[in-house]
Structure 1
Amino acid sequence: MRLSELSGKEIVDMKRAERLGILGQTDLEIDETTGHIKAFIIPTIKWFGFKRQGTDIRVPWHHIKKIGADMIIIDVHEDPPYANRK
């Protein structure tokens, strides 16, 4: 799958039934040695395209359960669910 095919998909937390963002607004953390995606970094607050003060949500790749036509479903087992905020 190409990155361009992921763009525009909604990221949904299966456990909380919560929309986290759209992948086009999301950064990727990539392992520089292997080129594999390590995590999605989702900004929590956007206002007219400009990022305001807030934390980012880091979703490790292994939490992704399904990539569908319109959305990416994640399942995070940690409590709190997004402990790796930046």
Structure 2
Amino acid sequence: MRLSELSGKELIDLNNGERLGLVGQADLTIHEHTGSIESMILPSSSFLSIGKKREEIVIPWRAIRKVGPEMIIIELREQSKVRDSY
């Protein structure tokens, strides 16, 4: 599957059913020697976070459980879910 085919899919957390965003909004972390995707980084899109530190959601590639026609189901662990950015 090509990345362009994934870009419009929604990311859904298996643990709580929360919609995290679209794959097309994410940045990718790529291993420099193998070229494999290590993780996706979703920027915070909350309107209420204006003036506060933004939080990014880091989704390890291994957290993907199922790719469907309209969404991707992922399973995150809380401690690796959120990362502060500026």
TM range (shorter): 0.7 to 0.9
TM (norm. structure 1) is: 0.81
Matching of residue 82 in structure 1 with residue 76 in structure 2? no
Alignment of 1:27-66 (within 5 A): 27-45=27-45, 53-66=53-66
Q: Percent identity?
A: 46
1:20-47: CA deviation from partner (whole Å, max 9, x where unpaired): 0011111111111111110010011266
Q: CA RMSD in A?
A: 1.9
Measure how far apart 1:81 and its partner are.
6.0
Residue 26 of structure 2 contacts residue 42 of structure 2 at CA under 8 Å; is this kept in 1? yes
Runs of 4+ in 1 over 4 A off after TM superposition: none
Residues matched between the structures, number: 80
Aligned to 1:9: 9
TM-score normalised by length of structure 2: 0.81
Gaps of 5+ in 2: none
For structure 1, the residue ranges without an aligned partner over 5 or more in a row are none
